[in-house]
Amino acid sequence: MRTCSDPDFGNLRTDGNDEAQANVFSSELLMPERMFKVRCDKMEPCFRDIDRVAGQFTVSLTSAALRTVDLHAAAVALALVKRTGIVWCRPGPQFTLRVDRDGPLARSSVAARVLEGGEADGPEVVDLGDWLHVDDLDSDDGVELFEDVVLAPSLGGALVLLHVTGLPDPDDEM
């Protein structure tokens, strides 16, 4: 798996920040939307598939993961976490739930296990409350949350890919 090597990923804002705007430009240059979206449509939202696509475009895993979040049709979000909690989180356009950014990681999360030296082997179904504000949702509604984690030593933590399935279609509620 490719390593994450750019500490500047911590700043994801694009409003007036030259470095962030350069990241957006380079993302489009190295991973053109038209070409990258075709691959997103064929891949599962998981680090194994993202790593494969990163190799095809010769970019870092972090860059490919951010681009995947922006372009994948599924409800996905990417976060950088440390033991103390979430450093940053980038939800994709389909990810309509609020990520709980307060406090330390849930002890039952895959990220907490990995940061304590444990292992992760692909996406795992986790409790919705480990990551999300879920006042009006629960797993009985058929909503599932998948968590995939890779260590990112150069970023000082781990990358977490969240994928929610079973959300009601907002168009059906009209």
Instruction: Quote the CA–CA distance of 39 and 34 in Å, as a whole number.
Output: 9
Q: How far is CA 162 from the centre of its chain?
A: 5
Reported pTM: 0.82
Averaged pLDDT, 156-161: 95
Residue of 129, 133, 174, 135 lying closest to 147 (CA atoms): 129
Q: Is the pLDDT of residue 90 over 90?
A: yes
Task: Give pLDDT tens digits for 119-150.
Answer: 998 999 999 989 988 775 655 678 899 999 99
Task: List, in order, residues 6 or more apart from 96 with CB less than 8 Å away.
Answer: 75, 167, 170
Higher pLDDT, 24 or 42: 42
pLDDT of residue 100: 83
Question: What mean pLDDT, rounded, does the chain reach?
Answer: 82
pLDDT of residue 138: 55
Residue of 147, 164, 11, 160 lying closest to 98 (CA atoms): 164
Averaged pLDDT, 92-104: 88
3-state helix, strand, coil in the chain (%, to 5): 40, 20, 40
Instruction: Quote the CA–CA distance of 80 and 90 in Å, as a whole number.
Output: 9
For the chain, give the percent of residues with pLDDT over 90. Answer: 48
Task: List, in order, residues 6 or more apart from 153 with CB less than 8 Å away.
Answer: 3, 4
